[in-house]
Amino acid sequence: MAQLTHRLWMARALDEARAAAAHLDVPVGAVVVREGDILAAAHNRREIDQDPTAHAELLAVRDAAAAIGSWRLDGCTLYVTLEPCTMCAGALVLARLTHLVFGATDPKAGAVGSLYDVARDARLNHRVEVTAGVMADECGTELRAFFQAARARAKERGPRWVRDDAAATLSDRPGGVA
């Protein structure tokens, strides 16, 4: 039963991830659920907001805290399509989130098992229960498709040089999203 429930909420997080991809943000989506109700849903907005902290997890946690009128997210579960980074994992601990469910692992930046395990670090004053790999294939497929399309766009466009008075600099990183 829990696995079916996890799949239901992860599917909702995937919808959010697709909304991020629509405006060329990395397709990561998140929902915060408490007692069977969605308190908040969000997707990455770093590119559209030009905000390095506009990760889906942080936006969803902020909105959930506002919805319940408390920074303590006791009894809440966060569903997110990609393993959280160090910033987001730290925020989940600080918010006293009860449970984290994520889809795809992130071997280059994941902080809930891949590179670090911030959410379950016994040295911290709170630990988050973690369920990993829910709909991992579907979540990974969204991410791979996004980055394949980004590489194709970059290859088609070629490097974009921006000239200022001092020097010319490369504004696109290979494989990155402009």
| Residues assigned a catalytic role | 57
Longest pairwise C-alpha distance within the chain:
62
Beta strand spans in the chain (E): 29-34, 37-43, 76-82, 99-104, 129-132, 161-163, 168-170
Q: Do 73 and 61 meet the contact criterion of CB atoms below 8 Å apart?
A: yes
Q: CA–CA separation, 121 vs 38, rounded Å?
A: 27
Nearest residue to 112 (alpha-carbon basis) of 91, 137, 96: 91
